[in-house]
A = this chain, B = another copy of it.
Amino acid sequence: MQFPSPVSAQWLSEFINAKIEGNADAMATGINEIHRVQKGDIVFVDHPKYYDKCINSEATFIIINQSYKVPEGKTLLVCDEPFEAYQKITKHFRPFSPSMEMISTSASIHETAVIMPNVYIGNNVKIGEDAVIHPNVTIYDNVTIGKHVEIHSGTVIGGDAFYYNTKKNRDVWYKKMHTCGEVLIEDYVEIGANCTIDRGVSAVTKIGQGTKIDNLVQIGHDVIVGKNCLFASQVGIAGGCTIGDGVTMWGQVGISKTLNIGDNVMVMGKSGVATDLKAGNTYFGSPAIDFTAKRREYVMLKRLPEIWEAVRKIQSTDGGR
């Protein structure tokens, strides 16, 4: 999330009750999570395991729960509860303020767009030329929809990220990180019925131009999908993945979180992807591997009874020696 205007280290330190270490004159332009952080952004970290990753990221500000060596030009904000500080900042700049109208007066909808009955459109939503939104669609706040986009019934765009702060020594283990990100649906995208596309935790979930999505597909928070992708029904893409251009996923494919899928990859139906995939190749299986390798694996599997017989025969022959 970008702030409406830059915020001083001083204001921040007072707002979250933190001690400044490093550059006390820096200005923060936004706040973000570690996978999508940019220069000028704030991140937070509360586990020593991730200190170095956060401090050496593009982030300019790091909210952290102890003193630490500060690289040149960076600012540490040291406080007891970095997670709570993150929540306070994001809720301050982008509070959950539910619009109780079916179509928020703050939404901006092109006059040629077709909004069918019973569509809910939240705050600060933009809908472009010739877009068609079918009945019973829900669009949460801060979603931008391009030109010639079609969204089918029952689909939910911009829901909260499934992203929690976890501590197993308290009564309620999971505390949700306040979602303050956005969704961007580019031109000529089509989205089927009863899909769910979550908005970024603090960055943006993006569906690239010309991508076509079938029914019941899940796109997690902060996923970046390239142009001209084709996702068949019941595909699920976990949070933080980056999908290239021209990627095809057949029905019921699942992609684990924060993976990179190269351009023009094809993933066969029902595959479960647990690793990055190289551009231009075809994959199958759970866990998914190269399609040709997977086929060879099946051939071998079919030979197993023969192998078993051969081994038993050799053993009995040997035994007779």
B156 touches A154 (CB 8 A): yes
B254 touches A234 (CB 8 A): yes
Q: A215-B162, A238-B232, A272-B252 are in contact. Are A138 and B138 (CB under 8 A)?
A: no
Shortest CB–CB separation between residue A214 and chain B, in angstroms?
A: 4
Shortest CB–CB separation between residue A215 and chain B, in angstroms?
A: 4
A297 touches B304 (CB 8 A): yes
How many Å lie between the Cα of A277 and that of B218 in the bound state? 27
Q: A196-B193, A233-B220, A269-B272 are in contact. Are A315 and B310 (CB under 8 A)?
A: yes
Copies of this chain per assembly = 3
A304 touches B300 (CB 8 A): yes
Shortest CB–CB separation between residue A128 and chain B, in angstroms?
A: 15
Tell me the residues in window 259-318 of chain A with beta carbons closer than 8 Å to chain B beta carbons.
269-270, 272, 274, 286, 296-297, 300-301, 303-305, 307-308, 310-311, 314-315, 317-318
Is chain A's interface secondary structure helix, strand, loop, or mixed overall?
A: loop
Ranked nearest first, the 5 interchain pairs of A and B with the lowest CB-CB distance are A270-B272, A138-B153, A196-B215, A120-B135, A156-B193
Interface set of A (CB-CB < 8 Å, partner B):
96, 98, 100-102, 114, 116-118, 120, 132, 134-136, 138, 140, 150, 152-156, 159-160, 162, 164, 168, 171-174, 176, 188, 190, 192-196, 198, 209-210, 212, 214-216, 218, 220, 228, 230, 232-234, 236, 238, 246, 250-252, 254, 256, 269-270, 272, 274, 286, 296-297, 300-301, 303-305, 307-308, 310-311, 314-315, 317-318
